[in-house]
Structure 1
């Protein structure tokens, strides 16, 4: 299969060329094909969520296990949405308050599904994850397709999620029908996954929409912790996409380094000394000048990650940095781990899963 590459400037989707590309992508989705779409979080691999065979192609292309459910994306108005309403059974009122506050945007809601949702999408679970993307290209493709679009991240299962079209093609070129290249994504980490049907509400995957933002709109919310599940729980028993899984992993071994900004130079140097025989890479905060370091850290490949006190910037560049150091042939990547506040919670979640994956 030859993967068709369509380019769209998200700032000018009204042009004839952009509309032609969007219409072509929408037609591929309607006909059962796979299209990689830019969203505000990461690139997603889309298929018609109501077409069992099309969704099965997602699993095959990604080498994704069948027990891992897929998030469904919709477009259109938040209220009385003809694409959304047929997917849902009865929902509590707080669901619509959350939609009003955060949609379109990076919040996935786990909601009671209707019989219209194929079992393959939810892996047989009673809840389906649904969100409305804010990226203008993804939104318009889904709107024109006229069908809900199942779309996990557009990468091989458990690998680093893609934030550019080039990342998608590294993993999936020749395995999918098309990709829309609309430049790098904005948030850089996947959506927040929230179950609003529980009391208190449960965040299963942290993302760009923070717990504090959710509390301000809808009341008490807590984070899922792996200790809430039995150690021997089978994957198919997990309550949400991404829970307890090993994800986001580079090929290199990922070593996480805790510490304040002042402590990081010494701690990075100590970690580098323990891996002096490896080809080292380092995710380097902007405030840490490489000239401060001694060998072997000074000889490490560096990725200019972003400012330490700007977690949104760190999140946006996280996956690009891990991929860049991987591509440079690093066998060990040293990565400082930011504080767990705001979007920092999501960064820590991704890094811990990636490091566990690389080490096990």
Structure 2
């Protein structure tokens, strides 16, 4: 049986989090909120507990987990080579940024890092996540709280859809603020490399790292080889129905004719063009589009339509990350 416990997202009561911390100490898996999406977590130092995450999610074993910390002292426990990036990390932590660093602690098992000599680390900004890590006393290894390949969970309703009866406890702190997974940057190489775009935008990263490498697979969402971080290799974020991403909007009429039984996901500024539609947000507030993305995908798959058609967006700021997720979710891309 799964218990759902409501917690205040800004001022979480320790009594509300005690049950979750105790379960983690016993090697159980719990779902908790972060500022990006909900996470499904285990004590990062408990190898068997971390194995449960892969089993519950149906996650491939070569897809590493992110280790969530609450302090720089915990960072010192798990990773090497961060001191030269201290100013950068202090600028964006706590926050929606994950960094890849050389693994230090033998307490972080190969299960967590998928056998890699590096570890993915972040310090979340959500008060519930930070307090839970602090109460546990160890870092928490956690990917997004969705069944592998499904749209990520940005509300407790999404978590319940995927994990009711699969986990012992879900902490409900309402909708997650950003609605999109963290930015991932690899700091273990000669030059910093962007592995996944997210709420910390490429433009902001380049203020610190003018030589930032943005590989083709980030732009095209096509990756081959051993993934260095979550979200690189496998199809992600996909609804249960075929999703057609129309990057060239001049071809939209042709796509609508080809797939007549459809619902369209579009922005506020273009909603009058479509009869069956889900409005994802406004171009005047691009972060609203990111925040609503996964909720829109989950809503679309519940509509009595055969296909989901999504408008492409200009790849600037946070919308670069939105397009990265849509390409990974798409069954077909129209360019």
Pairing partner for 1:282 from 258, 264, 268? 264
> Aligned to 1:84, which of 69, 72, 75?
75
The residue that corresponds to 1:71 in the other structure is 66
Q: 8 Å contact 2:96–2:124 — kept in the other structure?
A: yes
Out of 255, 273, 278, the position equivalent to 2:244 is 255
d(CA) in 1 for partners of 2:70, 2:223: 39
Cα RMSD of the aligned pairs, angstroms, is 2.1
- Per the alignment, residue 6 of structure 2 pairs with 7
Instruction: Tell me the SS of whatever aligns to 1:288.
Output: helix
Provide the rounded CA distance (Å) in 2 between the counterparts of 1:226 and 1:193.
13
Match of 1:111 in 2: 101
SS at match of 2:162: helix
* Secondary structure class of the residue paired with 1:171: helix
Q: Distance in 1 between matches of 2:228 and 2:214?
A: 13
State the partner residue of 1:126.
117
Greater CA drift, 59-68 or 304-313: 304-313
Change (3 A) 1:358 1:33: farther
User: Secondary structure of 2:327's partner?
Assistant: helix
- 1:50 counterpart (45, 49, 64): 45
Separation (CA, whole Å) in 2 of partners of 1:188 and 1:227: 19
- Quick check: 1:201–1:220 contact (8 Å CA) kept in 2? yes
Residues 291-336 of structure 1: CA distance to partner in whole angstroms, max 9, x if unpaired?
A: x44xxxx2x2x22211024221100000000001112233211111
Partner of 1:158: 149
> Residues of 1 paired with 2:57 and 2:290: CA distance?
23
CA–CA distance in 2 between the matches of 1:232 and 1:43? 25
Q: Which residue of 2 aligns with 1:338?
A: 313
**Ranges in structure 1 where 5+ consecutive residues have no aligned partner:** none
Which has the greater radius of gyration?
1
Give the whole-Å Cα distance in 2 for the aligned partners of 1:74 and 1:64: 22
Partner secondary structure for residue 124 of structure 2: coil
Give 1:116 shift.
2.2
TM-score, length-scaled by structure 2: 0.93
Residue 226 (structure 1) shift = 2.9
Write the distance in 2 (CA, Å) between the matches of 1:211 and 1:323: 27
1:97 equivalent among 63, 72, 87: 87
Q: Is the 8 A contact 2:156 2:172 kept in 1?
A: yes
| SS of corresponding position for 1:222 | coil
Work out which of the residue numbers 205, 223, 241 in structure 1 matches 2:230.
241
State the distance in 1 between where 2:14 and 2:224 align. 47
Deviation at 1:356, TM superposition (A): 4.0
**Cα deviation per residue 1:234-282 (whole Å; 9 max; x = unaligned)?**
5xx23322223211100111111225xxxx5x64443211111x2x111
- Higher mean C-alpha deviation, range 170-179 or range 323-332: 323-332
Residue 358 of structure 1 deviates from its aligned partner by 10
Deviation at 1:283, TM superposition (A): 1.0
- Please report how far the alpha carbon of residue 284 of structure 1 lies from its aligned counterpart in structure 2 after TM superposition: 2.3
Deviations 1:18-65 (A, max 9, x none): 321112111111111111111111100010010011001101100111
- In the alignment, structure 2 segments of 5+ residues that lack a partner are none
Query: What TM-score comes out, normalization by structure 1 length?
Result: 0.87
Q: Displacement of 1:98 after TM fit?
A: 2.0
Native 8 Å contact 1:215 1:221 kept in 2: yes
